[in-house]
Structure 1
């Protein structure tokens, strides 16, 4: 069975009160771009192509400081926290990339940070968070998901900076969409890796304001398809994840219920590739472009270059990060020589 799922955005209209994406303005995005100018770089759109003749534009967020787009949303979220909320520090739940962004921004504000991370997270991400001064508490994946879903860890009194929820996180991510639309205004679709929903909803905000004709597609690996499964079921459902997958930055136990109405409102559908298709892109980007891409960042490119729906269309794919363990990269390059 083809796991991809398409639907009609806006099938279940939301109230204005609940629509956080619809409340974001151009001024919000412009302000974030101004504040982030000295924190994150404006990344290029890299033309990529495959042996099958297909082509796409890859938004190279993997070359950001600390190797991920999350320097944008993590930094903007921390910069937006009022001073009176910082007395007891900050905490977040992250597999690594968002934690790095939060830790770096918190260090600039002189605020201690705790990161609850799943114990299967890439070692390079864990090490980088600690090097940035964060206290990293490794927990089981199921416990991490509970914290990500809103459960407060026992004894935790710090201010929570959530990686997927919150207006500031979405605005920080919307800056990526604004850059793509400025640099390639004639694209037909933007392909986004789907984790907790913060990135895809941030891009949705930019599309709504700047180029509503562009189709927004959430991309998943077949090793974990919470959004595809939710669309098929008509509601968030629990899914199994492959613990041996090298793709650790996307997927999850299920779509966060708080994000579900927004996702149905703004995302046109999903595209799914398997781990080996993503691994082939990791190898291709290293050999042809000398770029290091993690699994989550490779998935949208793999979708763009292999899925029939994107043939003969101009698409941009967000290459979200480059934080891949060296041994994992070495193994992929050996398999895809």
Structure 2
């Protein structure tokens, strides 16, 4: 028996060569790396977050570790381009690098000393109480990868239909497309996340029942699926929630309890002391919920593979993060933007501050996305995946909604129209090509819709 043949590791490949052959010889990864024969060739490393995403994808999806040479390539290129890692980190073992990456970007702690690492520090949890949150199962939210969304698509395909993607009709001939989630059975995309989360629960968990805190759309989605699976469902809603949404939730069998807005927000933050039995399903910081919403991104790319930008209404962040994960995993050059309204734009304010922060919140007819704070557990994902936030006025949202109804025969709620308002306000700036606006829902009170069609900004005090 001859000497044991030394295993050859694949050397780094030039980015251009790898890109040309990726579809032919490699399996694409959602993190700027490619895999072949059990090895990872780290390409297109733009910053430390890109490196983290690649490592996470490798460990989760392929169950092996890159060679030290490949890790050195990763670290060295990061140093050369962005000075984001020190030479000390380069000398560490892969386990140490992975541990640091996971600590910062996959499962960040509540407080991170700035001097502890060479990675850029994540925001500290010493913010205002209104931005602190715990996840539904008292564990920190897991990161999300493309495979989770693909599995979610299989889970929900028998319950949720693929919504159409149509071109916007307007006088200026913009290249804008509408993803019509308002046509789902409950009038909202929320059915996707609700369906996926219930299908990921055990029989015993379902028997105990579920509860959530929602402005209305997620409660409808959860109540719809709970009725189908014969699961009890309790809903906490703020007093200013859309009456139409809450009535629809009750008609589906959900038990709705109205509470003051501050109390409702506290339930979203702490999820403790209000319901003693049952499983709390967070409408935002839940991996299965985000994965379910992310299936919209797969459908967009299926219908429009060369999309240049996607604009998503930003409420809690689950929809935008799910879509961005799917889209950027398969088409990294596509931009994904959040759409917010001026009456409460916490994500935009947080981007400016560089950390989760609060903002002034004024109730309006755009009730699905306006808020006074951002959830800190979603912040690392949102700030990493989204390319910015477009803040629009109530006037712009009302005009966009009027355009949708009169020219496109599409009835959207304020949040859904906000994405179109953002695209029209920055036409040509969010993408020089094809832009998709996610019409997240169509559950708007009739009295508000009438005022919009009369050319007015709806007055919620009437």
Q: Same fold (TM over 0.5)?
A: yes
Q: Does 1:18 align with 2:107?
A: yes
Deviation per CA, 1:135-173: give whole Å up to 9, x if none.
001111111111112332434322011110111111101
Runs of 4+ with >6 A deviation: none
Given that residues 47 and 57 in structure 1 are in contact (C-alpha distance below 8 angstroms), is that contact kept between their aligned partners in structure 2?
Answer: yes
Q: Provide the rounded CA distance (Å) in 2 between the counterparts of 1:178 and 1:311.
A: 19
Q: Does 1:150 align with 2:295?
A: no
The worse-fitting range, judged by mean Cα deviation, of 281-290 and 9-18 is 9-18
> How far has the Cα of 1:10 moved from its partner?
4.0
> How far has the Cα of 1:287 moved from its partner?
1.1
Match of 2:72 in 1: none
Deviation per CA, 1:188-240: give whole Å up to 9, x if none.
11110001110011012202321111111011011111000001111111111
Query: Residue 414 of structure 2 is aligned with which of 295, 309, 318?
Result: 295
Given that residues 192 and 218 in structure 1 are in contact (C-alpha distance below 8 angstroms), is that contact kept between their aligned partners in structure 2?
Answer: yes
> How far has the Cα of 1:305 moved from its partner?
1.4
Given that residues 212 and 283 in structure 2 are in contact (C-alpha distance below 8 angstroms), is that contact kept between their aligned partners in structure 1?
Answer: yes
Scaled by the length of structure 1, the TM-score of the pair is 0.92
1:80-229 alignment, distance < 5 Å: 80-229=200-349
Q: Provide the rounded CA distance (Å) in 1 between the counterparts of 2:198 and 2:446.
A: 30
Closer, same or farther: CA 21–181 of 1 in aligned 2, 3 Å: farther
Q: Provide the rounded CA distance (Å) in 2 between the counterparts of 1:336 and 1:239.
A: 26
1:278-289 alignment, distance < 5 Å: 278-289=397-408
The worse-fitting range, judged by mean Cα deviation, of 11-20 and 88-97 is 11-20
> How far has the Cα of 1:311 moved from its partner?
6.2
Match of 1:231 in 2: 351
Given that residues 309 and 431 in structure 2 are in contact (C-alpha distance below 8 angstroms), is that contact kept between their aligned partners in structure 1?
Answer: no
Match of 1:5 in 2: none
Q: Provide the rounded CA distance (Å) in 1 between the counterparts of 2:402 and 2:248.
A: 23
Closer, same or farther: CA 98–9 of 1 in aligned 2, 3 Å: farther
Given that residues 79 and 105 in structure 1 are in contact (C-alpha distance below 8 angstroms), is that contact kept between their aligned partners in structure 2?
Answer: no
Given that residues 143 and 287 in structure 2 are in contact (C-alpha distance below 8 angstroms), is that contact kept between their aligned partners in structure 1?
Answer: no
Given that residues 91 and 115 in structure 1 are in contact (C-alpha distance below 8 angstroms), is that contact kept between their aligned partners in structure 2?
Answer: yes
Q: Provide the rounded CA distance (Å) in 1 between the counterparts of 2:48 and 2:449.
A: 37
Q: Provide the rounded CA distance (Å) in 2 between the counterparts of 1:184 and 1:18.
A: 33
Q: Provide the rounded CA distance (Å) in 2 between the counterparts of 1:85 and 1:22.
A: 23
> How far has the Cα of 1:11 moved from its partner?
9.1
Match of 2:117 in 1: none
Q: Which runs of 5+ in 1 are unaligned?
A: 1-7
Closer, same or farther: CA 97–9 of 1 in aligned 2, 3 Å: farther
Q: Which of 1 and 2 has higher RCO (CA within 8 Å, sep 6+)?
A: 1
Match of 1:254 in 2: 373
Match of 1:4 in 2: none
Q: Provide the rounded CA distance (Å) in 1 between the counterparts of 2:297 and 2:238.
A: 29
The worse-fitting range, judged by mean Cα deviation, of 29-38 and 98-107 is 29-38
Given that residues 306 and 434 in structure 2 are in contact (C-alpha distance below 8 angstroms), is that contact kept between their aligned partners in structure 1?
Answer: yes
Match of 2:388 in 1: 269
Q: Which runs of 5+ in 2 are unaligned?
A: 1-46, 53-100, 109-140, 458-462
Deviation per CA, 1:232-272: give whole Å up to 9, x if none.
111111111112x1100002121101111111111111111
Given that residues 59 and 319 in structure 1 are in contact (C-alpha distance below 8 angstroms), is that contact kept between their aligned partners in structure 2?
Answer: yes
Match of 2:186 in 1: 66
Match of 2:95 in 1: none
For this pair of structures, how many residues does the alignment match?
Answer: 328
Query: Larger C-alpha radius of gyration, 1 or 2?
Result: 2
Given that residues 49 and 305 in structure 1 are in contact (C-alpha distance below 8 angstroms), is that contact kept between their aligned partners in structure 2?
Answer: no
CA RMSD of aligned residues (A): 2.1
